[in-house]
Structure 1
Amino acid sequence: MKQLPKMTWGKPTEQPAIYFAHANAYPPGSYLPIIEALAQKRQVVSYLQRPLWSPTPAPSELKSWHQLSDDVITFFEQNNMKNVVAVGHSLGSVTAFMAAQKRPDLIKALVMIEPVTLPWFFCWLTRAFPSMVKKRVAIIQKALGRPDRFASKQEAFDFHRKPRAFKRISDENLWHYVNAGMVADGDQFRLAFPREWEAKIYGTATYFRGQLLHSKLPVLAMRGAHSNTIDEKFWRKWQRNPNHRFIDFPDAGHLLPFEEPAAVIKQLMPFVEQQL
């Protein structure tokens, strides 16, 4: 298999790097404040998921998130990474967790920021009735319908400044996303993360709640009170796992690392330092 792409921050050392796993539709550079804080401790390495490969593979290849977690395992093997501390947001935290369940030697501790823990029935629907899910699930339709080309980065910023989903994100942090999420294409800028891939990932959501409840992997879990990916009932149930720690952010949502990066850094750094 070809060498999988990555980004790095900080200087390599003889000590294991910190692995950072980005979310669906948000390239690693979107998380610059958090990554720079982590890079003060160790080199940070981030694998670029399939939608960011060049050439970009067809979204139809994806059947479940287990394929994405297998990519993480391949990436670790290619880079001789073992026994690392990982930090992930949304999909990234899920694929890192799944990889750790399959290969416990790879990840020794994990920060899961707003992991996508959808209920069994929805995940079953994505497998049993994929066409129906694609047509009827609002977030998939929204992804497919979003503009993917802009005349300038400023135009991209102005567009993303308006949606309700981004209202709690400062201009500075929104610019981190725009700078990471837009790439030059001729005299325009396009989404680095193709919208067809974003929709496909939503439409292949994979159930893993049971593994979370019984996992012995040291985990620090973070949830925004306005989360649409971790329901309150499951959040309370998950907290029965004695191996995991839990932090609530009352004024944040699923985009917690962009909405409150300083607060996230304050909470995750003691855990990361303890586990390194």
Structure 2
Amino acid sequence: MIPFEKYTNNGNTKCSFIHGNGFPPLTYKSLLTELSNTLDITSMLLRPHWNETSSPYKLKNWRLFVDDFIQHANEQKITNSIGIGHSIGGNIILKAAIKNDKIFKSIVLLDPTIFAPSIIYFWKILSLFPKALENFPLAKAARNRKTSYSSKEDIFISYRKKNIFKNIQNKQLNEYIDSIFEKSQSRYELNFSKVWEEHIFLKSVYDDMYIWRNLSKVKIPVLIIKPDSNPVFRLNAVKKISKNKNIKVVTLSDSSHLFPLEKHKETTDIISNFLP
């Protein structure tokens, strides 16, 4: 059975949430707590967070994760539900909606990792030169990630200094830290494989023409929320995806790719106003 976590408060509308790479579900505790007032949330874990998993070195593209989710949906009898995904999670949710039109009745993609065809073709050319890929910033950061600290305070001090977290409040930063570190004897250790994290970044684009070739199959309402600062979901992709009139794209001001952590209440409001 595909591992997953549950977030339930008073909500009864079934919802599947898929997290970002290196950001397990508890990272989004503030957001999921808000959403669980109206939604009954199930969050499948991506393979880096499984106790037992296959080798990341065999990963060819993200199709594996789409297949994992569809298996999870079958196991949990998920149909006619809400789908929400952040980053890679948004990519997986959209591909799953294309592949199986019975799972979702509407979906929300939070700055999804979806690139225009020109970027896809460029990436495939770049992949012919492995040394060039080794310097891809996100993969390099994952490869060099520090995995052990002497105390939680040391983790917080280190992460508080990182530019990527500058707009995240202390509470949400601590939620992120708690989601990825566990105490082991006298130290705090990263609780997932950074090798998996790296390889997910390296294989991020290879299967994405599937989206563009099948976009017309998307008949359900789709909301894409993107930040106004350095979005992953960029303008050329926005223009192309907006040709499908079922898809609406909105921009959240004063935010970055991590806006689900930075602005969880605003994100909840936008999602709630979109959902029936």
| Distance (Å, rounded) in 1 between the aligned partners of 2:64 and 2:57 | 12
Post-superposition offset of 1:241: 2.2
| Distance 1:12-1:262 versus aligned 2 partners, 3 A rule | closer
How far the C-alpha of 1:122 sits from its partner, in A, is 4.1
| Counterpart-to-counterpart distance in 2, 1:38 and 1:70 | 26
- For the 8 Å contact 1:89–1:112, the answer to whether it is kept is yes
CA distance in 1, matches of 2:129, 2:87: 21
Q: Distance in 2 between matches of 1:199 and 1:130?
A: 17
Q: Deviations over 1:32-80 (max 9, x none)?
A: 1221122111321101110000024321131110111000001111111
Within 1, Cα distance between the matches of 2:110 and 2:91? 10
**Whole-angstrom distance in 1 between the partners of 2:264 and 2:219:** 27
2:156 alignment partner in structure 1: 157
1:219-242 per-position Cα deviation (integer Å, ceiling 9, x unaligned): 110011113412223223332321
**Contact 2:10–2:38 (CA under 8 A) maintained in structure 1:** no
Report what 1:220 is aligned to. Answer: 223
User: How many angstroms apart in 1 are the aligned matches of 2:122 and 2:195?
Assistant: 20
- CA displacement at 1:133 relative to structure 2: 4.5
For residue 7 of structure 2, the aligned residue among 1, 6, 9 is 9
Residue identity in the other structure for 1:120: I
Instruction: Tell me the distance in 1 between the aligned counterparts of 2:177 and 2:195.
Output: 18
User: In the aligned structure 2, how far is the partner of 1:260 from the partner of 1:130?
Assistant: 39
Secondary structure at the counterpart of residue 17 of structure 1: strand
Distance 1:176 1:133 in 2: 34
Q: Tell me which of 197, 201, 210 is aligned to 2:212.
A: 210
Counterpart CA distance in 1 for 2:214 and 2:192 is 28
Q: Secondary structure at the match of 2:183?
A: strand
Residue 69 (1) aligns with residue 70 (2) = no
Q: State how far apart, in whole Å, the 2-side matches of 1:117 and 1:223 are.
A: 11
> What's the offset of the Cα at 1:267?
0.5
In 2, are the aligned partners of 1:130 and 1:203 still within 8 Å (CA)? Answer: no
Task: Decide whether the 8 Å contact of 1:10 with 1:39 is kept in 2.
Answer: yes
CA drift of 1:4 comes to 1.2
Amino acid at match of 1:38: L
Of stretches 178-187 and 156-165 in structure 1, the one that deviates more from structure 2 is: 178-187
Mark the runs of 5 or more structure 2 residues left unpaired by the alignment.
none
RMSD: 2.1
| Residues 18, 38 of structure 1: 8 Å contact kept | no
In the superposition, relative to structure 1, how do residues 160 and 212 fare at CA in structure 2: closer, same or farther (>3 Å)? farther
SS of equivalent residue, structure 2 residue 188: strand
Whether the 8 Å CA contact 1:111–1:219 is kept in 2: the answer is yes
Cα distance in 1 between the residues matched to 2:128 and 2:258 = 28
Aligned residues of 2:56 and 2:199 also touching (Cα < 8 A):
yes
Structure 2 partner of 1:243: 246
- Counting aligned pairs with the same residue, the percent is 24
The answer to whether the aligner puts 1:265 opposite 2:268 as a matched pair is: yes
1:51–1:57 Cα contact (<8 Å) kept: no
Equivalents in 1 of 2:140, 2:259: separation in Å? 23
- Specify the SS of the correspondent of 2:248: strand
**25, 46, 51: which one aligns with 1:54:** 51
Task: Go from structure 1 to structure 2 and tell me whether the alpha carbon gap of 1:98 and 1:239 turns closer, same or farther (over 3 Å shift).
Answer: same
Instruction: Find the aligned partners of 2:75 and 2:97 in 1 and give their Cα distance.
Output: 16
Displacement, 1:135? Answer: 1.6
Which amino acid in structure 2 is aligned with residue 205 of structure 1?
Answer: S
CA distance in 2, matches of 1:52, 1:65: 16
1:115-157 Cα distance to aligned partner (Å, 9 max, x none): 012321244247x437234322122111101201112222212
Q: Which one is further off, 151-160 or 78-87?
A: 151-160
3-state secondary structure, aligned to 1:43: strand
1:64-118 superposed Cα distances (whole Å, 9 cap, x missing partner): 1011100000111111111110111000111111111111111221100000123
